[in-house]
Amino acid sequence: MEEYEEDLQLALKGKKPKKREKKEKKEESEEEGEDGEKKKKKTERKEIPEDPDKIKNALNKVKASLIKWRAKKTEKDENKAVSLTTSKINYIDPRISVTWAKKWDVPIEKIFSKTLRQKFPWAMDVDEDWEF
């Protein structure tokens, strides 16, 4: 049951693993009856097997799908930062960022990595009154 607590928390937040969403959509889909009216499908729930090996296999499958889902989510979140770094290097004048950091007392180390500070030493000498 502990494995499902996180799923429950995600469901309460409105976030669900894709497999579960697809399954729920499929269950909720409607099909027409003999008289032409739309009726909801009746889905039968599977009974929990009494064989401990089958239960372990089912739990392992669920755990594996959750691990994959978490990995995809983590990868998606990590990829968001890539474009910010690219923008700082290629598109934004580093003097603008340095001026802003000096004006608002933000350490340059928080904005530029050591490599970028070495790449742009000319931008680090800008006063906080520099206008662009």
| Secondary structure (DSSP) of 75-108 | HHHHHHHHHHHHHHHHTS-HHHHHHHHHHTT--H
Could you tell me if 30 and 38 are in contact, meaning their C-beta atoms sit under 8 angstroms apart?
Answer: yes
CATH number for the domain spanning 119: value is 1.10.132.10
Residues 103 and 124 in one domain: yes
Domain count of the fold of the chain: 2
Whole domain around residue 114: which residue ranges?
Answer: 92-132
Residue 14 domain flag: no
**Beta carbons within 10 angstroms of residue 131's beta carbon:** 7
The pLDDT, as a whole number, for residue 69 is 93
Best-predicted range by mean pLDDT among 22-26, 39-43, 49-53, 81-85? 49-53
91 catalytic, yes or no? Answer: yes
Residues 6+ apart with CB under 8 A from 3: 59, 62, 63, 66
Residue 17 domain flag: no
The one catalytic residue among 13, 91, 114, 132: 91
pTM for the full predicted model? 0.38
Residue 38 domain flag: no
What does the pLDDT look like over 6-44, one tens digit per residue?
666 666 666 655 666 666 666 665 554 555 555 655 667
Residues 102 and 122 in one domain: yes
Residue 48 domain flag: no
